A and B are shown apart, each in its own frame.
Chain A
Amino acid sequence: MTMQPNRLAVGGRIDRGTTFSIRFNDRDIVAHPGDTLASALLANGVKIVGRSFKYHRPRGVFSAGVEEPNALVQLREGARTEPNSRATTVEAYPGLVARSQSGWPSVDTDLGAIVGAFARFMPAGFYYKTFIGPFRNTRWWMFCEHFIRRAAGTGIAPAAPDPDTYEKVNAFCDVLVVGAGPAGLSAALAAARAGARVILAEQDRDLGGSLLDQTVGDTWLRATVDEVASLPNVRILTRTTTFGAFDGDVYGLVERAWDHVDVPPPHQPRQRYWVVRARSAVMATGAIERPLVFGGNDLPGVMSASALRAYLNRYGVLCGRKIVLFTANDSVYATAGELARAGAAVTIVDMRSDLPEELRSRTAAAKVDVLAGFAVVNTHGGKAVTAVTVAAVSGREGGTKGPVRRIDCDVVGVSGGFTPTLHLWSQRGRKPRFDTDKLAFLPDGSIPTLVCAGACAGADTITDAVSSGFAAGAKAAAAADFVGDAGALAPPKLADDGWQRGAMLISAVRAPDGEIPAKSFFDLQHDVKSTDIELAHREGYVSVEHLKRYTTNGMATDQGKTSNVNALARLAELRGSPIPAVGTTTFRPPYTPVAFGAIVGHEIGRHFRPTRLSPIHGWHAARGAAFIDAGSWSRPRYYPVSPGEDVQAGYIREARHVRAAVGLVDVSPLGKIAVQGPDAAEFLDRVYTNMFSTLKVGRLRYGVMLRDDGFVFDDGTTARLSETEFFMSTTTVNAGKVMARLEFLLQTAWSDLKVQVTSVSDQWATIAVAGPKSRTLLQATCGAADLSAQALPNMAFACAAIDGVPVRIHRMSYSGELAFEVYIPARYGHSAWAELMRVGEPFGVAPYGTEAMGALRIEKGHVAGGELDGRTTLKDLALERFASTKKSFAGCVLRKRPVLEDPTRPSLVGLMTIDKTVSIKAGSLLFPATGDIAGHGDGHVTSTTFSPTLGGHIALGLLARGPARLGETIRCVDFLGGTTVNCVVTAPCFVDPEGVRQNA
C-alpha cells in the first residue's frame, strides 16, 4: 500500500489496525475505519479535489463538516452514483469509488482554466439578465447553456433506476433533540431524566459534536453518552440529519442508514426518512466557522482552522508542516498548540494588536510564532498554497499598510469567527437578530416548543454549552408537561478559550493600496468575488435577498454556510449601514441536500398511490384484458381476442358487438351514495337541478348537479328505493368530491335537514348489460323476476336474484341500446359476472372495456369527462331542460350570470369527418372553413372515436353558436400534431336520436 504522508503514527479516533483501499480519480487511496473520504485524501496528500464552478480554479478540502464548499464528489458508480456528495461527510468504506465532478480532462490539468473563460461573460446577475432582462425568450440562454453545462462542476444524476430501497418512518416523541454535541447530549439527558420520551438525532456517525475534534473531554463524553444510551426512553439516531422544521412541531429527518457501504445488506434501506411529531424540541446545532476573505483565499491548502483541529484530533492527520493560522479571535490558539505539538511549525497571524498576556505566554511555551496586528493579504502558489503575504493592520474594516512580508507555508488555517447554525429556527419563520457583542446572528424572541442551546444560542465555551443544554432539556421537557427532577450535570474538565472571545468581524482584507485583491472569494462554491458584490450594489441590488439571487452568493449546494455572513458584511460596508440594518437571508429546508429517494420512500411506480380494483378484476385479468389507469382505478380497456389485436381493432369489435348482440362492461368504479332520511327528497331537490321529490319509488332519474358558481359539477342516475331512501350514482372521477360536498352542505348550512349520506361505492359491484339481447340474457339469468318492457320500463328498477344472491336491476342506457345496470353486493360481483357470461354464451355475450364504452356513449351524444370539465354550463351542454323552474337549487342563481348566458358561448355539437379515413384529435381547436387560423378559434373538440355504426370518425365538441351551425363545414386544427381535419357539424346524438332502441 502507498504511504500516507500526512497520517500521524498515533492519535485520532481511527482504527489503524485495519487498512483498506478506496479509489479517487482512478488513484488508490489508503484509508482506515473512522475516516471520511476527505480525511483519507488529506492523509494521502491529495491537495486538489475539484475545480471551481466559473473560473476552473483548483480547489482543495476546506472544512471537516457539512459546510464544505469545495470537496464535492461524484460518489459511487452506475445506478448508485450520487452527485454533490461532500467528501467531508462521506464515510470511507472498502471499495469506495469517487471522482471530482469538475475539471476536464482532469482536476490537475483543467483546460477550462486555460481557455479561461467563458466566465468573463458570466458576471453577477448573469441569470437575471438572461431570464428576466432583454435576452429573455431568446436563443441566448440556449447558446450559453451548452457551455455552462459542459464546464460547470454540477455532477451527474444517475441514469438508471435506483436499485436500493428507502423507508419512511412516522415517529412521535415528547422532546426531539437536534444535535449530540455537548449541549445536545446534556439536553437529552435532562429531558430523559425528567421522564420525557426523547429522540436524539445526530448527523454525524458518532455522538459528541465538537468534543470529537478535541482530546480532552473524552471522559465526560463517554460517561454522558453511556448514561443517555442506557435510558429506555431515549432513542438515539446517528447519521441522521434534521433537515427541516415545519409547522405543528413536525420535523423532517433523514437517516443515512446504509450509506456508509457500497451496497446495503439484503432487506435494509439505504436511507430512512423520519417524520417526527415532537411535543417540543431542543435545537443544539452548534456553529460553523466563518472564513476570512483575502487575496487567493481559495487556493488548496487554505482551510478552516477548526477543520485542521478536527483532522488532527479525530483522524490523526496533520494537514501541513508549515502552518499559518489567520484569525481575529481566540479560538485558534488551542489548535495552534496542538498542531505544534504534532510537529508543525505554526505562525499565528492575528488581526488584533492587543492580545491578552495569557495567550502570548501560552503560544510562546508551545513555540508558536504570533504576528499580532497583522493580516494575510494574499496567497502564493499555483495548485496549492506555498506562501502568504502579510501586512500590518491599519485602521478598521480590514485595511493594511506596507511593508509586506512573505511567510512560506503549506497550509493556511483561517478563522473569522463562528456563525451559529440557525436554519431550523429560521425555518420556523423567525428572524435571527445580530448580536453586536458576539458578532453573530442569534435566535431572536422565543418559540415555546423550540429551545435553543449551546453554540447556536451563543454559548461561548463547552462549559456554557453543557449548562445551557441541560437547562434547555429540562425546559423542553416541561413544555411537554414533564417536570420530573433532572438532577444536575457537571461539565467536562477542560480549559476552553471559547470561540468568539475578543472577535472582530471584517468583510475582507484590503491590500496596502486600499483595494480588496481581485481574487478574494466570498462564496467558494459559486465563485462569488468581492467585485460581484460591488457590481450588484452598483446596480441597485441592496437587499440581502436580492444580493443573494443576483450574485448567486449562498445559492450553491452548500447554501452559503460559510459565505453568507461575510457577503452581507461586505454589502453592509458598501451601503454604509450596520449589519443589523442589512439583516440576513431566510433559510428554507433542507439544511443539507436530501435525496429524492429518501422522501419518496416506497411510493414509487405502482406504489405511488393505491390502485383501486373492481371486485371483478380477477375475472378480467384471467381473461387477458388490457388494463388502463383511469384516475385511481385500473380498468379493462379492451379484451384482446388475439395477441396481436390492438386497441383500435379491439374497441371497434367490442362496440359493434354490443349494438348487434349483447355485451357486459364492469362499471363498479361508479360513485354510489346512499341518501337516507325524512328530508332526503328535499335535500336532493336542493343539490340537483331537476326535481327528485316527485320521483316515484321504484323509478330512476338522471340528475345534474351544479357548483354554487353555476357551472356543471357532476351527473348521474339516482334511484328512489323508498319514500325516505335514495341510491345516488356519481361519475367515477367525482365520487369523492360529490360525497364531500354533500357532507359539507348537511353539516353546515343545511344541518337542519334530517338526512344521512353514506358512501357505498365499495359495497356494490355494478355490471352494465347492453345490447338488443340484454333482456333475454338477464331474463335467462334471473328467471323469477319479470323484466319485460311492461314490468320494467326504461328508468325503472327491479329486484331479482342471480344464483340466489339478491341483486337490483336498473333499466337505463348509456350506450343507447336496450341496457341494464345490475347492482350486486361487492363480494358476489365476480360470481355474478361469471354467471352472466356462462348463461350468455348461447346469446353470444362478450365483455367490453372502457374504450368501447366511450365509443358507444359518444355515438349516443352523452356527456362525460371531456365535456364535464368544470367550465361548461347546462346550456353549453344542451342540458337546460334539466333545470327546474319550480324550485331553487345550488347554483341556480349564478348560472344566470349574463356572461354565462352569452349566446356565443361554445355549446355541444357532434362532428363528423368528411374524409372517413382520418381521425380527429381531442383538444383540436375549431375554425370556420375559410379564413385565418389564429387565436383560440370557435371552440374545441372534447371527445373523439371511430364510430362502428357510421363507419367513420366522429367527435363531440364545444362550438360557438353550435346548434345554429348544423351542416356547416369547419376545420379541426391540432396544433400539437400539426394537422387539420375538415368536419361537418351535426347534432350531438349520432345514433337512434328517437331512442327506439333503448326503449325497446
Chain B
Amino acid sequence: MAKSLKSWLKTITFYEILVGMKATLKHLLHYKPITLQYPHEKRTLPDSYRGMLALLRYDDGTEKCVGCDLCEAACPSRVIKVVSAEVPGEPTKRYAKEYYMDMTRCLFCGLCVDACPVDALGMTREYEWAVYDKRQLYLNKQQLLAIGDRSFPVREKKLELQHLNVAFFNVAFKHLPPKEG
C-alpha cells in the first residue's frame, strides 16, 4: 500500500522528469553566460595560435621567400602556388615571381611554415577574414606580404654575404633567353 502511494505521488508531481531536468533547472536558476559577445568581446589568443598566413621580409625590406616551392610541396590541401624565376638583373638568384594562396582551402596546419627553409612564412593572429565573395580569399604575393608587414613589425636581420654569387658576378649577362616559349 505504502509503496503504491509513493509511486502515485511521484507520478502526480512529475518527480522523474524533474530528476532528469535537474541540470537544466540548475542552469535556469544560476544563469552565467559563457558565449562571448563577439565582435564586442574577443578571446585572448594562445601564443601558439595559427591564424592567417603571411609572407615575411628581412629588416632591409627584401622578401625572404626564395621561391623554392617547398611550401607548395608540403601543403596537404594544395593551397599554395609558387611561380619561381630568376630575379631580373640578378643572375641565378631565385625568387617567387608570383605566389598565391587559396585560403578557402587552408587547414591552418602550419606545415608550410615548417617546410620553409628561410622562415619566409609566418602564421599571424589574424582570423577575421570573412568576405562576401570567396574569390577574395585567393591571395597574391603583395597581399600576403602586406599581411606580414602589419602582423610582424619586427623583422629578422638579413644575413651578410647571403647572395655571394651575385656579389662576385664578374661578367654581365648579355642576353638571357626569355623563359616562356
The reply to whether chain A is a binding partner of chain B is no
Chain B residues within CB distance 8 Å of chain A: none
